Structure 1
């Protein structure tokens, strides 16, 4: 069996490739020079390096290797969209035809473009369901009454911000939004919010967008998220259960318990 991999940054593409090989897939990967972990080549059948925007090369590579299904995994630093990009004619044509430039709209439209070329994009977690965020309180520490109030308010605000495709995460304390994620990413947002709370505790709410295409770009967290919270004096992490992913969950929980941080997996049904 063959499968294509469009690999951004982070550990997700490598985790996927290791699991795929165990499942007897041959992985043919496309990596981006400014994003992808250089060691990915050690875990795949073949790896093609391209620049952001080189859509024709990506499609040609997959067709050369008879790839009819693929996954899109890993992060693309939004700051790199303004550099290290070499859009070809197909990319420029795609951009011109895309009515909305929001992340989800672009990714969904790109998946539709690949489907027209005979390449179907599969859900990012289809080989790694264990990464999907479970419901419940993961940690020894549970939120107090005031923190629960911030969680409920923060959840609703984060959903509204998600509708505008601004970001996936906010930091809130005592009913006041301290930071909203934009292009800088979650860790910087957490640190900015912690600074404004004077390291006296705050709540991070990180959700999928209401229109999220669950095949890709799921909100993710990991040990670095917990370290950033600890450094910033932030004490509660709320993730959207079943619509986000968590890397190294056991290590996350160990760190959170060490730092007296609470991790919660909620769904819309938990917010009343």
Structure 2
């Protein structure tokens, strides 16, 4: 079977292609011009480049390639939607129909348009189950008492902002909120926290309540740990089984 891949930025799309190849599946890739690493051309079985607003072009490509199931992998920065990109007719109609333009509504709208054409958007971790960490401490050092207190407080706040679809990440120090994620993404949130209150920071990143694993699945990796080190953060807490952990050995080695 040939799957479709809507590729955003970062390593996520490349890992999906690797996982699909191990499973004997082919990938027809719709790469987003404003986001996707051009190196994807070297690994995709079939590929077309689309602009951020070219929903119709993407669907036509998938139909030509016989795609019936598609995966969305890699971040598309929310701010790109408001960057002045010109949507095609199909994208414009979808945007007009939305009651709000938060992440869930936007990506849910894309999923609905795909479904109208007989293309099912499936779990983005379908080929990456081994990248979902189990519950427990992943590093040699467990959180100390201060960090455990910050985790407890951070989880309470992070779950609420995730429920409201505002963001997934909260940065805490001494059981006080230092920074809350919105459109800027996790790394930018952590950097901002480091500027406001450098050192002894705890980063909490959660899945949404009832997380739809088809899209916007939390991701952490080496850049997360590097950014935390720059900001003086000492602890990271994520949702077990619903967070993708990239480059696990290198990431845990850095931590």
- TM-score range (shorter-chain normalised) is over 0.9
Q: Is 1:245 equivalent to 2:249 in the alignment?
A: no
**Aligned alpha-carbon RMSD (Å):** 1.3
Q: Distance in 1 between matches of 2:132 and 2:206?
A: 13
In the aligned structure 2, how far is the partner of 1:22 from the partner of 1:238? 30
In 2: Cα distance, 1:237 partner to 1:22 partner: 31
Structure 1 residue 121: Cα displacement: 0.8
- 1:128-173 deviation per Cα after TM superposition (whole angstroms, max 9, x unaligned): 1011122100111111212211111110111111122211101001
Give the gaps of 5 or more residues in structure 1: 257-272
Matched, 1:15 2:10: no
Cα separation, 2, equivalents of 1:99 and 1:71: 24
Aligned to 2:27: 27
Partner SS, residue 125 of structure 1: coil
Counterpart mapping for 1:25-64 below 5 A: 25-64=25-64
Cα shift readout 1:156-205 (whole Å, capped 9, x = no counterpart): 11111112221110100111100011121111111221232232x11100
Normalised to the residue count of structure 1, the TM-score between the two structures is 0.90
Name the SS for the 1:101 alignment partner.
coil
Write out the 4+ residue segments of structure 1 that deviate beyond 4 Å after TM superposition: none
Say if 2:153 and 2:175, in contact at 8 Å, map to a contact too. Answer: yes
Structure 1 residue 79: deviation in Å? Answer: 2.8
Where structure 2 has 5 or more consecutive residues not aligned to the other structure, the ranges are: none
Partner SS, residue 225 of structure 1? helix
Using the alignment, how far apart are the partners of 1:159 and 1:109 within structure 2?
24
Partner in structure 2 of residue 163 of structure 1: 163
Question: Structure 1 CA distance, aligned partners of 2:84 and 2:105?
Answer: 22
Match of 1:212 in 2: 211
Q: Secondary structure at the match of 1:235?
A: strand
Q: How many residue pairs are counted as aligned between the two chains? A: 255
Q: Which moved more, 1:172-181 or 1:139-148?
A: 139-148
Matched, 1:236 2:220: no
- Cα deviation for residue 245 of structure 1 reads 0.7
